[in-house]
Chains A and B, each alone.
Chain A
Amino acid sequence: AQSVAQPEDQVNVAEGNPLTVKCTYSVSGNPYLFWYVQYPNRGLQFLLKYITGDNLVKGSYGFEAEFNKSQTSFHLKKPSALVSDSALYFCAVRPPYDRGSTLGRLYFGRGTQLTVWP
């Protein structure tokens, strides 16, 4: 069965410090991996994705994520956090189409609340 784990419900960092939001997954084959961000009272917004190629992918607002196949992880990172980065972050995985899954369906982690202190 497909699953995504975000082991930290909350991450707190000081502005200017680097941040990491962790994500691990359990999916057969080579999945697509995503990060979404949700600001208060808003829908989820696409942040970045990994499909194939370079293990370090760059996305919006200075965020990047590192894909590690051996550890089945896709951690979100940013070198210098901003107060405006405070939001709820979701990791998601889409199994390969040939694995009999619902076409296009994403499986989400429970979310990690990131708080950046000034």
Chain B
Amino acid sequence: NAGVTQTPKFRVLKTGQSMTLLCAQDMNHEYMYWYRQDPGMGLRLIHYSVGEGTTAKGEVPDGYNVSRLKKQNFLLGLESAAPSQTSVYFCASSSPGQDYGYTFGSGTRLTVV
């Protein structure tokens, strides 16, 4: 049982480059989330999805896009990376019957130079 898997684990991008972060869960969860973690800022919600084909903006959505074409996958895209997007990105999933909150992935450490 893999839980939530994020790929890649590490990436270095040049300013202006694009990339996609993949999150996959095998628990049949309805809800999926993308967070970024920065020192002293805690976890900030970027985008989330409450079901296949649906997405919504979180607290800090600018510069990111998401897609959820399949229930098990939630993709986070950076169209034109900026140094301010250097961060650790976490994906999480949950479902209405899951009373322990989220299951988290292990994170993607992204550096934009």
| Cβ distance B14 to chain A, nearest Cβ, rounded Å | 24
Interface size class of A (residues with CB under 8 A): 20 to 34
CB-CB under 8 A for A32 and B101, given A104-B31, A104-B94, A105-B33: yes
- Cβ contact within 8 Å between A44 and B90: yes
Judged by a CB distance under 8 angstroms, whether B45 is at the interface is yes
Judged by a CB distance under 8 angstroms, whether B104 is at the interface is yes
Which chain B residue has the least Cβ–Cβ distance from A110?
B42
How far is B31's CA from A108's CA once the two chains are assembled, in angstroms?
Answer: 17
Contact of B96 among A9, A103, A109 (CB under 8 A): A103
- Cβ contact within 8 Å between B42 and A45: no
- Cβ contact within 8 Å between B90 and A49: no
Chain B residues with CB under 8 A of A92: 101
Judged by a CB distance under 8 angstroms, whether B67 is at the interface is no
Judged by a CB distance under 8 angstroms, whether A111 is at the interface is yes
| Cβ distance A8 to chain B, nearest Cβ, rounded Å | 13
How far is B39's CA from A9's CA once the two chains are assembled, in angstroms?
Answer: 11
Contact of B101 among A42, A46, A111 (CB under 8 A): A46
- Cβ contact within 8 Å between A102 and B90: no
Q: Which residues of B contact A (CB under 8 A)?
A: 4, 30-31, 33, 40-43, 45, 48, 50, 56, 90, 92, 94-96, 98-107
